[in-house]
Amino acid sequence: MPVAVNPIKLKSIVQTGIKQYIPACRKITIQYCNWGGSSEGIRQYLKSGQINKLLETNRHIEFEIVNKNGTHPVITGHYANQRIKPICIRNLTGTRIEEKLNLIKSSSGSVLRNVAKNKNVQSNSDSVRGIWSPVHVDPTSRYNV
């Protein structure tokens, strides 16, 4: 027998590269109504041309502006993890709309979870310090069964 080593197949995981971050948000849809009062803010926002700055700085995101009458305005983020995040922006204006757009833009798109207070650190790597072992302490002070 030449080599006594068998490889075990590892399961691939979703992981970006080590050096480069790829934004999770790939598309944002802005849906507004031509007549509704709740769309007043987003209509003003679109007319004022503030959105151009957003388009300039976020070339990695595809923007789609949809006119759908008779509904409240909604902005929807489409993410690489195949999920969407819709946020209703009825009656919101200027800065509040921008806040929501930023939220969608910077979100990872994953499900929101309540992170427990003492479980903030999550890592696939082993700890640098190692785990304390009772059987490796000095034999004179070791507890023996």
Binding site for another protein (CB under 8 A): 1-10, 12-20, 22-24, 26-27, 59-63, 79-82, 124-125, 134-136, 139, 142, 144-145
Give, as one character, the DSSP assignment of residue 11.
Answer: P
Please identify, using beta-carbon distances, which residue of 12 and 114 lies nearer to another protein.
Answer: 12
Please identify, using beta-carbon distances, which residue of 5 and 115 lies nearer to another protein.
Answer: 5
Please identify, using beta-carbon distances, which residue of 13 and 111 lies nearer to another protein.
Answer: 13
Residues listed for the chain: 145
Backbone φ, ψ for residue 88 (5° rounding): -80, 130
**Nearest distance from residue 10's CB to another protein, in Å?**
5
**Nearest distance from residue 92's CB to another protein, in Å?**
25
Instruction: Report the distance separating Cα 110 and Cα 101, nearest Å.
Output: 17
Upper half-sphere CA count for residue 85 (Cβ side, 13 Å): 22
